[in-house]
Structure 1
Amino acid sequence: MTRLLVIQTLQTALNYLAQVIQWRLDYHLGDREAETVAMMPHPPAEWLTAQTPLTCFIRNHQLDIAAQLTLLIALAPHLQPDFFDRAIAAQLPQAGDYPQIGGWRGKSHRGFLPTGETVLFILGGSDFSDRLILQQIFSEDHPFAREGVLYLDAPPEGEPLMSGKLVITQDYIDLFIQGHFSRPHFSMRFPAQRITTDMEWEDLVLNAQTLQQIRDLEAWIIHGPTILYDWGMKKKLKLGYRALFYGPPGTGKTLTASLLGKYTGKDVYKVDISMMVSKFIGETEKNLANLFARAESKDWILFFDEADALFGKRTNVRDAHDKYANQEVSYLLQRVENYDGLVILSSNFKSNIDEAFIRRFQSIIQFPIPSPKERLQLWQMAFPSQLKLADTLDLEQLSTTYELTGSDIMNVVQYCCLQALQQGDTLIHQQDLLSAIKREFSKTGKMI
């Protein structure tokens, strides 16, 4: 697929939409003989043969002509801002004489923007039965709703549904114009950051049981679509997968999530729960809805670190705050269960997570404190090649004596590297490590 082909296909699409609008206006205003406007123009022969994101989407979802044109109507202002002003408004005696055409003007964008009424007018004119049938395009069962492609914005209370603004989501604008979904920026509307790692599976030091469970989870990410779609299990199994990682901080939970994404080609987004939770009633649910709506159908891995704040146990209702807190957990349970990708929750303690979530996890993986053998492996892998260890330094004895996590060990090594650079000495002695370990323990009030 070339950029030139995408541009040519989009231009062909706009030209075709302009022809259809001209046909509708001719038909509606009676400017031509009836036989010349009886049939809607057919799409150009080359319209759906091109291999571009837009045409592939149309073919894959088997969209009929009405749905194709609805998609083009929603996309047109993003391709050519004055498209509807030239195609519709300029050809009417007075735009106000034809309220059935719908449309609205934005705050920054002053051109004509389509509504549901615009779609019904272009595709159905004033035919009552056609207009009713066309409204099914905006139903929840249509691919547009299922895939989160476009929708009608809710109009003010009491106004007809079709007067709502026709909105195509930014993800699909990017897909159809740029050829790919753009990664979301960290913001209040999407409080999650993409996390990556330069480390490999070999750098992850865990016990055999935990590693096997992680490999099983990796297998689902790779082979899940085959089970669901090729083997026909979609009707028997829920879409998506839910996993719980639990264990002390620094034991590899975040690294594991990053590695799963790296080796399966999935983007991993770490959710900032502090931005997600709001003291205002209904705001937490709204934030969750925005997050999951953006992630839906993207095949992203959502990683909720320190998930207790959102997924914690529900309490007995003593006041209004408890009532709404419990409602948040119930809503979150529903959204997590309906998400079609992988959701990973991370917590220090399994017991902190609400039982309703525990029952729905397909995988519960413990990340324990490393054993002495595992700590020795971590120590041996931790130092850069530029540093040398003194012959008297006993890593095995350090591994047995001091209960440290992988993160703790890396903090110790980082401190030793800084000290070595400051002192101009690349040889690490036993006392250097002991001082660094003492410093690390002091963070949590432990004594060496």
Structure 2
Amino acid sequence: MEYDNQTYPYIHLRLGAADEPFLTKEEIEVNQSVIDRDVTHLVDVFGKRIAEHSGAPSVTVFDDFHPIGESDQGPYAELVRSMQLEKTDRALLALTLLIYYSPLRLTRAIDTVRKGTFISMPEIGGYFLEETKTFVPTLETLAFILYGNNETDRLYEFVKYIIKGKLFREQIIRLGASETNRRSFSDFNSVPVLATEYIHHLLYGREVRPDFGDDFPARKINCDIDVKRQLILPVHTAREVGLLQHAIHSVEESLKQGKKVKGMPALFFGPPGTGKTLTATALGQLTGRPVFKIDLAQVVSKYVGETEKRLANVFDRADGKNWILFFDEADSLFAKRTGVGDAHDRYANLLTAYLLQRMEDYAGISILSTNYRQNLDQAMTRRFVQIIRFPEPQHKERDQIWQTALPEGFEYEAGMSTKVLAQAELTGANIAMILKLCMLHAVSRKTTTITANDIKYWSIQEFAKSGISPKMRSWPNEKLRGFTKAKPLTDPLYPEQVLHVAEYENFANINLFEE
């Protein structure tokens, strides 16, 4: 299988429709020229090191890379420049990117010292993929390129400048096991792995953000509302959220001053649909921080030790990046610690203790969301800097939500009253879903008017979906008086059909207009 393509290196990646290059063809060529310059230098030295063992003149110094100047543009040059990467880190970056950029270059350089997949110079490190016969370098390979056979430099410089270097510290590069050595007893035998988001960024300019996967079970969530106008919260909840926003700014200022900051975990609790996730994204928008929602189904594993490993990776990747980590449905992960009855109980307690410690050590904001505060034990709730309650909205908040959640460009049927609509005890999420469905139905009619019949029909659907009838949700009873056998509601999508659900009949005849 031939992977090498010197014209458009980004085609080596399997791209989805959303992953089209963000760089133009001209920008790709400029970016490629900078990458190619570093890669060529690295491969040339690699070839000379190999030749050195065959009687060629000794290469005692790994010359520094060509300086990145202001004329050098593109994601690769910008990363090297912004992080002020020195020789060792830059060599590490070029080596890890080489696997995706032009993997056959190292394979060709090593041809003189291999027979099939056997390498006659073990100090080179690395291994060959069985399927493609492509050479995969390890940290041993990097040490060989940088220091040759100088054992002192290999050991001292390796630890000081590579393992403790900027790229590992910032989680841009991580260690992975080789195919031939799943259990590596030395970092030298490990494969340096470039984080997926940086592969995409360095080759074709995609925004740097972790991709969802087993190694980072999270996805970025954005706020798509006008926060000041459309985030409707009870007064006491809004006040607490404002304090948390202020705390986030304080943490940021402390970090800028070089101060050590302890973690600031917060707990959001309340019934579903009351704005916990929306508020987390709003905090991200207001503070200029990305918000990552942790998929707990991916985090929790039945295998002992796997959950801690995945959580550690989440916190390690987030370290120093000013992210807000949002753990939704946290009660499934941070459950009450049990009495020690068996090995499973002991493991649950150890896991909870580990999570508590990581949250406190994380120099940033972590928000845990749960529907039931009582599912969290007291020892854990004491660790939270803030505990914010999100109750179901009252009439005043529901009235505001019906007004502000109406999609732009749409209007209610003339005379409809949001105060009457607000009598139904719906959550903000319920109202948003009803209006979304009303909007789609209005578009199908080629109109921008949402009618009373639309609201009634889709409200019934929302009630039914939740398993709650309007009678149970306190729709104004005075408006139901006088209806002994109300006329059934016609289905707006299928006019020939009639809804015959008895408990919704009176609801269908409620007057939603101002009297």
What amino acid is the match of 1:76? L
Post-superposition offset of 1:186: 4.2
Which residue does the alignment assign to 2:390?
A: 367
Which residue does the alignment assign to 1:218?
A: 245
* Larger helix share, 1 or 2: 1
Please point out which of 58, 68, 84 is paired with 2:90. Answer: 68
Partner secondary structure for residue 311 of structure 1: coil
TM-score, L = length of structure 1: 0.82
Question: Aligned pair in 2 of structure 1 residues 18, 278: CA closer, same or farther (>3 Å)?
Answer: closer
Which residue does the alignment assign to 1:81?
A: 103
Post-superposition offset of 1:80: 0.8
What amino acid is the match of 1:165? V
Deviations 1:291-319 (A, max 9, x none): 44554555443222221111122111122
Question: Aligned pair in 2 of structure 1 residues 411, 104: CA closer, same or farther (>3 Å)?
Answer: closer
Deviations 1:5-25 (A, max 9, x none): 311110111122133224433
Partner secondary structure for residue 326 of structure 2: strand
For the residues of structure 2 that align with 1:67 and 1:329, how far apart are their CA atoms? Answer: 36
Partner secondary structure for residue 258 of structure 1: helix
Q: Are residue 29 (structure 1) and residue 54 (structure 2) matched? A: yes
Post-superposition offset of 1:323: 1.5
Post-superposition offset of 1:203: 0.9
Please point out which of 324, 332, 342 is paired with 2:355. Answer: 332
Query: For residues 398-413 of structure 1, what are the structure 2 equivalents within 5 Å?
Result: 399=422, 402-411=424-433
Deviations 1:418-441 (A, max 9, x none): 898999996528994998499469
What amino acid is the match of 1:7? Q
Which residue does the alignment assign to 1:192?
A: 218
Which residue does the alignment assign to 2:36?
A: 11
Which residue does the alignment assign to 2:467?
A: 443
Partner secondary structure for residue 134 of structure 1: helix
Which residue does the alignment assign to 1:120?
A: 143
Post-superposition offset of 1:121: 1.6
Question: Aligned pair in 2 of structure 1 residues 131, 188: CA closer, same or farther (>3 Å)?
Answer: closer
Post-superposition offset of 1:125: 1.5
For the residues of structure 1 that align with 2:308 and 2:147, how far apart are their CA atoms? Answer: 38
How many positions carry a matched residue from both structures? 437
Q: Are residue 205 (structure 1) and residue 232 (structure 2) matched? A: yes
Deviations 1:322-374 (A, max 9, x none): 22222221222233334444321111233332444433333322222223322
Query: For residues 36-51 of structure 1, what are the structure 2 equivalents within 5 Å?
Result: 37-46=59-68, 50-51=72-73
For the residues of structure 2 that align with 1:408 and 1:181, how far apart are their CA atoms? Answer: 33
Please point out which of 320, 340, 345 is paired with 2:343. Answer: 320
Please point out which of 91, 98, 102 is paired with 2:121. Answer: 98
Please point out which of 290, 303, 314 is paired with 1:280. Answer: 303
For the residues of structure 1 that align with 2:43 and 2:79, how far apart are their CA atoms? Answer: 21
- Percent of counterpart pairs with the same letter? 36
Deviations 1:385-440 (A, max 9, x none): 4432556x5x54664x5543223344555677789899999652899499849946
Q: Are residue 358 (structure 1) and residue 381 (structure 2) matched? A: yes
Post-superposition offset of 1:126: 1.5
User: Over aligned residues, Cα RMSD in angstroms?
Assistant: 3.7
TM-score, L = length of structure 2: 0.72
Question: Aligned pair in 2 of structure 1 residues 415, 350: CA closer, same or farther (>3 Å)?
Answer: same
For the residues of structure 2 that align with 1:417 and 1:83, how far apart are their CA atoms? Answer: 56
Q: Where do 5+ consecutive residues of structure 2 fail to align?
A: 1-22, 475-515
